[in-house]
Amino acid sequence: MNYSEVSLNSYLIDPCLTLYRIDETEDRINLYAKSKKHLCACPKCQTISDEQHSTYTRRYFIMPLRSKTTEVHMIASTYECCNPECKQKYFAEPMETVGRFDRYSYDVQILMFALSVFVSARGTASIMKLLGVPVSHDTVQDLYESMEIKDDPDIEEIGVDDVANRKGQSYFTAIYSLKDHSMVALLDGRDGETLKTWLKEHRKVRVVARDRASAYASAIKEVLGDGCMQVADRFHLLKNLLDTLRDLFKDQLPKYFFIRDGKLLEEEPSKEKVPAVPFDSKEFDTLSYDNSEPTDQDGNPVCFDRKLINYDSSYYKKMAMNRIENTQKAIDVRADALHSEDPFPDIKKLSETHSISGYMVKKYLSLSDDEVISMIMPKDQPARSSPFDAYVNVVYKMLRDGYKPEFIFSYLIHNGCEIKPSVLSVYIGLIAKNNFGFKPVMDYPYRWTYPPDVTVIRRNDLVKYISAKNRECETVKEVEQYFPLICASYPIVRETEQIYVIFHFILMGDSPDEMDQFINQYGNSPLSSFITGLKKDIAAVKNAISSDISSGFVEGNNTKFKLIKRILAGRSGLSNLFRKCYAAFSITHRSAAPRDLLGL
């Protein structure tokens, strides 16, 4: 079978170029090419010219070949415009794969732009360098500056919410398209003033999905009037009700409810000290550690620090400082003796100069250089025997296998260790600290807890129970068992539960007029502050019931916004942050190609 040769020149570089030479080194490929064109259209008047004026060499990077930096050296031509009335006298021939003043081909620019959507400009530059394209983060940033941002003055449906630039300090107003969920604008502040300015330029907006922020509601009402339908999000309505419930319970209910033998206790019972891991844990029966010497994967003995010494104690820190001072004195004494003109050092003079005894001067002078250096190290004294010797290898091996100190503590007691618990916990902590970097803690094997016959229900557990859809949750089941008992002592709990159930039923239904009955019925209830808020925003609340529109997608987009903000490490201004978000949301929601965003 005969095979015909296929030329890849048109796929590697511009098809209007002739590749005539290739130079390759260990980390670089240079492609040399020249133009095939002999006719070229003037960019001003479009007159075809065959008057070649001069040639010049142009260099630009293309996609790396063989993971090496690949650069094209092109002999390009400039032409003279044949139209005497044209102001463009000379022009360079255009290329299909690279811009007029670009140092990178369109393919490389698209790759850089696509990477920068998910990582920072500096991260993109680092990745491109690893791929073989030398580029700076400023070049990546310039791509964003050149991106075409298209504003749609005819947009009719939007979602609005505030996002934090620095939580508790500065905020932005994010505007998203209700149609494709892409970001439309990112405005400074959240007081509604910048939103008013934006709405005045987009007066065709007819639907706005938002949270319960009164600043946004007022801004939309002021600029667009009743012609714009505002939709309050159901999630935020329920959240506002639950927040009101929590505040009410905080004022009128205790933080914890204690129940024993089916009765609600009036006082908090005393806590008991119990092991963090029970001594009779069933998991202990599956383990079989002995006190044999630990070994590595090859069976070789492992040496570790088995001394029960806390090197961070004040005593050992003081000893370390003394060793440093004595070592420095020895060095100074030896240096003075070495530079003395007298061949025999004056012991008395050195003793007075350095405030040490003559005996120590003679000792320092008799030491070798290696012995002086070794003075700074603690003396290797044999470990003293203790009852813990029977368990030290067990503790080391269990720590190496990833068991927590409190688990090891209970395991040793389970296996008959009779060392005093307070001492045993210190021993385990010292082995952990000296070999694995754990900090010794005196009382970590124990925790304080209420007696086992006392059931503890938190105040917030009541809110979870009232709002729970899934009553199979373990916490909710426990509250359900004692809920009538708590309601009997605190009637407000039962009353607020009924209000929540009725409000949830109306909100998730399809009869907005029932909300008026709800407001009239419970206007003077313990949740009157929440009811007052419903009155002020009643139109948007009713629209939430009658309409399928929701701002749920806005909350999802805000989560993505936080990720983009973290990518930029908080070092981006409003304009650059918006460009980053605009690109990310356009690619993910509108399926816009990077080439289209860059206008290539």
What are the tens digits of pLDDT across the range 530-586?
A: 899 888 888 888 888 888 888 888 888 888 888 888 887 666 678 888 888 888 888
Enclosing domain of residue 346:
314-374
Edge-to-edge order in the sheet of strand 263-264: 263-264, 256-260, 454-458
The more confident residue out of 503 and 364 is 503
Confidence band for 134, pLDDT divided at 50, 70 and 90: very high
Do residues 473 and 508 share a domain? yes
Q: What is the pLDDT of residue 381?
A: 65
In a domain, 264, yes or no: no
Rounded CA separation 275/446 (Å): 4
Q: What is the pLDDT of residue 7?
A: 66
Contacting residues for 330 by C-beta, under 8 A, at least 6 apart: 364, 367, 372, 375
Q: Which helix (H) or strand (E) holds 410?
A: helix 405-414
DSSP result, 19-58: EEEEEE-SSEEEEEEEE--S-EE-TTT--EE--EEEEEEE
Q: What is the pLDDT of residue 5?
A: 60
Long-range contacts of 281-288 (CB under 8 A, 24+ apart): 281/410, 281/414, 284/410, 284/411, 284/414, 284/415, 287/411
Q: Where are the beta strands (DSSP E) in 194-261?
A: 207-210, 229-232, 256-260
Retrieve residue 6's tokens.
Answer: 């296929």
Confidence band for 1, pLDDT divided at 50, 70 and 90: low
State percent of the chain over pLDDT 70.
Answer: 95
The number of residues making up the chain comes to 600
In a domain, 258, yes or no: no
What are the tens digits of pLDDT across the range 217-270?
A: 899 999 998 889 999 888 888 999 999 999 999 999 999 999 999 899 989 999
Res 6 pLDDT > 60: no
What are the tens digits of pLDDT across the range 485-499?
A: 999 999 999 999 999
State percent of the chain over pLDDT 90.
Answer: 21
As a whole number, mean pLDDT of residues 347-367 equals 83
Q: Is the dihedral of CA 357, 362, 364, 365 positive or negative?
A: positive
In a domain, 325, yes or no: yes
Do residues 424 and 296 share a domain? yes
The count of structural domains within the chain is: 6
Do residues 58 and 84 share a domain? yes
What are the tens digits of pLDDT across the range 511-546?
A: 888 998 999 998 888 888 889 988 888 888 888 888
Res 482 pLDDT > 80: yes
Do residues 286 and 324 share a domain? no
Burial of 442 (0-12, 13-18, 19+ CB in 10 A): exposed
Res 591 pLDDT > 80: no
The more confident residue out of 235 and 377 is 235
Rounded CA separation 426/585 (Å): 55
Do residues 184 and 289 share a domain? no
Q: Where a domain ends, among 120, 146, 172?
A: 146
Instruction: Give the phi and the psi of residue 456 in degrees, each rounded to 5.
Output: -110, 125
Do residues 444 and 365 share a domain? no
DSSP result, 56-88: EEEEEE-SPBTTBEEEEEEEEEEEE---TT-S-
Do residues 523 and 461 share a domain? yes
Residue with tokens 């142009």: 58
Res 452 pLDDT > 80: yes
In a domain, 184, yes or no: yes
State the chain's mean pLDDT as an integer: 85
Helices 491-507, 514-522: inter-axial angle, 10-degree rounding: 160
Confidence band for 4, pLDDT divided at 50, 70 and 90: low
Do residues 29 and 83 share a domain? yes
In a domain, 386, yes or no: no
Q: What is the pTM of this model?
A: 0.65
Do residues 47 and 174 share a domain? no
